[in-house]
Chains A and B, each alone.
Chain A
């Protein structure tokens, strides 16, 4: 006799998703998830987005999560379904993006028999998830799903995978709602809720005594929520301290503000990197001293006292030794710093850091982002600048692929709000941007969502244009088409004697016709006179658009700290030559 309070595993999954307020799921069906798809068929709270390959589902879930601040959810089948999401899970782990991946598995009694579409899912995904589960008992399913959402979104966020064998999807049990689950504290890793007041006092004292301070802000500030950004803006305005952000920190602080030095790191601004090199006080807010940011470690900011706010204990002292640190949430910590300064009437306003800002303004005069736009061929930098000028009045979400176009986007597109910039930083996943745009558009149906792409990256997940068409998602794919894997070509030019081994992309499709064949719209700009019209047309069409922008094939991305070099050894243009000894050292690095 069926107990009426008992539900199948598939129904429990859907009840749990509803309980977690999930309204969108990206997925692709297959044999081992058919019971779940059957349950999806009979409900209407959950919108399922059918992708064209599972990689698209995971990047879409990432784009959804980054642009909404919510957990992104995807559903894939066993075997190839789940191996196709390994890249995206790793991407989400590196970039701290909260996603939950549900995967089907062969029935329990077939596990270990090399059954059809069987793979060791938990084994394969263990190093690329924050946590994963194989649910063998349907009575544990509700609790597992709720814990998975909690883990994905707590502390330093990340991907969590739940592998559900097909027989468990059919088996019945009671459903336990989220409110009835008591999470075990040690499993959630939420970081401390108590602000370390000693840290706050030390920091304020150091701010008072420093003459060359700088804020170095990363993606942790984004993950702490929009309020972190508000508190940061307040603190920067109060202290007049210059601020630089990492690739993922873009948008945490308005890029057009006078205090902003822009992005730092390998392709960061000259003034940002020099300021990091010469500062006497570094305040790291949720950044992880990544190798793209630090350059050569033994020459990294040699004279500064370093403060580090990061919820992840393992980010402290991993690459760079810091003097003071706290593992408390950024919003709470910044809030306390602000109120400590206010309640103790600490007059930081009197410190205008005249010499420091004078020095920074001298560095700014180098105009490290300067480029020469001729009268015919479109410079890729100019294409992004025009895109920014023509779309910044909208609340625009930008996703990117990986390579030169990504760095140009980071340099020339300015963000005034968090969560508008969605890019693959840590893993550097080509093919990320278009499915991420699908996810961002699902989360923000009324906003303009643009994937700034290179033609090589775009081709890696080109199939997802069909997803955008099917769900009427008017995403824009803005391809800086130079017919090269530009960043590969740039490194070959700098480090391998311009031997362009396999970096020229021959036999490219006609992107306009490609768009049309998918029932999307194609536009093209071949030269400078067509650029603005192409952008305006792209933005005005309420359908998915591929804009094929033909740009200068030989343009390189500058400024640049070559691998193995330090912040103060930046190359500003192709006329700057790297020290030969650095070049040899850099060659063996990435």
Chain B
């Protein structure tokens, strides 16, 4: 992982993995997402996470961020295949850039029964500097951002608290090179 979190993270020891985050600039036209998703499924590549949004209205460009798994040879082939698609301007493996930043956003809804759980939740929320979106008597919704690993770690910590119910949504990682 060469990407650096935009947020400070309590634990630095991330697991080494073969995940790559690909950043793809495309013409925003009908079918482009289907082309990319079809390329991955047709050639047997994995999509772990996917994010698509228009980023340049004037030039009608979207940025698609794809988290994928595979050895280096496979990732190079994925990039080459992506760049063959007509509406694709560029496909970049963020890990190949000298400097890149990565973030993901996650909304977590936690239901709890007692004060002990509440205190533990509050403690983790504080350590990870989550933003409180909504808090009721026995339910709280947090927003947490950062690298995917940071969010994973937060969720792992939450899971150490017994008896609570967690529901969440994640944007998948997005990233930018400098």
Interface string of A298-330 (1 = CB under 8 A from B): 000000000000001110111001000000000
A476 CB–B CB distance under 8 Å? no
B159 CB–A CB distance under 8 Å? no
Set A126, A132, A151, A317: member contacting B76, Cβ < 8 A: A317
- Interface residue stretch chosen among B85-93, B98-106, B160-168: B85-93
What is the CA–CA distance of A123 and B35 in the complex, to the nearest angstrom?
Answer: 9
Most buried by A among B76, B86, B89: B86
Residues of A within 8 A of B30 (CB): 134
**A318:B77 contact, CB within 8 angstroms:** yes
User: Nearest residue in B to A189 (C-beta to C-beta)?
Assistant: B84
What is the CA–CA distance of A454 and B35 in the complex, to the nearest angstrom?
Answer: 37
Residues of A within 8 A of B38 (CB): 126-127
Instruction: Write the nearest CB–CB distance from A387 to chain B, whole angstroms.
Output: 39
**B42:A127 contact, CB within 8 angstroms:** yes
**B87:A126 contact, CB within 8 angstroms:** no
B6 CB–A CB distance under 8 Å? no
Instruction: Write the nearest CB–CB distance from B42 to chain A, whole angstroms.
Output: 5
A131 CB–B CB distance under 8 Å? yes
Residues of A within 8 A of B58 (CB): none
How many B residues face the partner with a CB closer than 8 A?
21
**B80:A316 contact, CB within 8 angstroms:** yes
Residues of B within 8 A of A126 (CB): 31, 34-35, 38
What is the CA–CA distance of A338 and B144 in the complex, to the nearest angstrom?
Answer: 61
Residues of B within 8 A of A130 (CB): 86
A83 CB–B CB distance under 8 Å? no
User: Nearest residue in B to A314 (C-beta to C-beta)?
Assistant: B80
B83 CB–A CB distance under 8 Å? yes
Residues of A within 8 A of B4 (CB): none
Residues of A within 8 A of B81 (CB): 314
Residues of A within 8 A of B86 (CB): 130-131, 151, 187, 189
A463 CB–B CB distance under 8 Å? no
Q: A503-544: which have CB < 8 Å to B? A: none
User: Nearest residue in A to B29 (C-beta to C-beta)?
Assistant: A133
Residues of B within 8 A of A312 (CB): 84
Instruction: Write the nearest CB–CB distance from A53 to chain B, whole angstroms.
Output: 27
What is the CA–CA distance of A439 and B28 in the complex, to the nearest angstrom?
Answer: 37
Instruction: Write the nearest CB–CB distance from B166 to chain A, whole angstroms.
Output: 37
Instruction: Write the nearest CB–CB distance from A490 to chain B, whole angstroms.
Output: 30
Residues of A within 8 A of B90 (CB): 186
A68 CB–B CB distance under 8 Å? no
B73 CB–A CB distance under 8 Å? yes
Residues of A within 8 A of B89 (CB): 186
Interface string of A487-513 (1 = CB under 8 A from B): 000000000000000000000000000
Q: Other than the known A317-B76, A321-B73, what 15 A-B pairs have Cβ atoms closer than 8 Å? A: A126-B31, A126-B34, A126-B38, A127-B38, A127-B39, A130-B86, A131-B85, A131-B86, A151-B86, A186-B88, A187-B27, A187-B86, A189-B83, A312-B84, A314-B80
